[in-house]
Amino acid sequence: MKKILAITAAVATFLLAGCSQVGAAATVGDTKITQATVQASVDAILSERAKVDTTQMQLETGSTLNVSQLRFHLLGTLLRKLGQELKLNVTKAEIDSRRASIVDQVGGEAALPNALVNAGIAPQDLDRYIEAIAYSDKISRKLTAAGVTEDQLGQEIQKLVVAKAKEIGVTVNPRYGKWDATTADVVAADSAESAVTPAGK
């Protein structure tokens, strides 16, 4: 699962701060990522943490957790749109196959909940994470075939994602933070802290 996070982190997420529709955490072109979607991921992660021993884990909390889940949904959407533009496709069979491999690597289905908690992945989002990784891998192979060296892959994918975000337009609800062009990341807003409270709390 750490490999999942490493690959995901290697492909920086690029958000352009702006006004957002009511109920939207962000919009990516014509795709709306609702606040409910992001909150569901946060709630599921917090719920799963209560079921396992987390004493040896370094886990995201507060606005950091909230922003990281928005980042995931945004990155997955951008990678999917970029992949489709490059005539790439990720099938359900590919996702299922990689999921089975991940389950085997972590020690079986019984060990999966603990691994997901450690990786900061909501159970319902695992297939989306796998899809994002698959698109990243396929884009990497396409770049490699075009002559890009391995040490330049991350930077080149970053350029493509940035260009795609600018092309289709990305907006982020200020509740979650703002885009920092100098660091190519989302700076969490103070108000994002309250968005991490589990539903019903």
Identify the residue whose tokens are 């990522």: 33
Q: Is the pLDDT of residue 22 over 50?
A: no
Q: Is residue 109 part of a domain?
A: yes
Residues 6+ apart with CB under 8 A from 166: 16
Q: Which residues span the domain enclosing 113?
A: 2-196
Number of compact structural domains in the chain: 1
Q: Is residue 33 part of a domain?
A: yes
Predicted pLDDT of residue 190: 59
24-76: per-residue pLDDT in tens?
998 888 999 999 999 999 999 999 999 999 999 999 999 889 999 998 998 89
SS3 content of the chain, % helix, strand, coil (to 5): 60, 10, 30
132-163: per-residue pLDDT in tens?
999 999 999 999 999 999 999 999 988 898 88
pTM of the model: 0.80
Q: Is residue 201 part of a domain?
A: no
Q: Is residue 57 part of a domain?
A: yes
Q: Is the pLDDT of residue 196 over 70?
A: no
Residue 71: both structure tokens together:
């980042």
How high does pLDDT run on average in the chain? 83
Output the CA–CA distances (angstroms, integers) from residue 193 to 65, 121, 156, 176, 189, in the order listed: 9, 19, 33, 9, 8
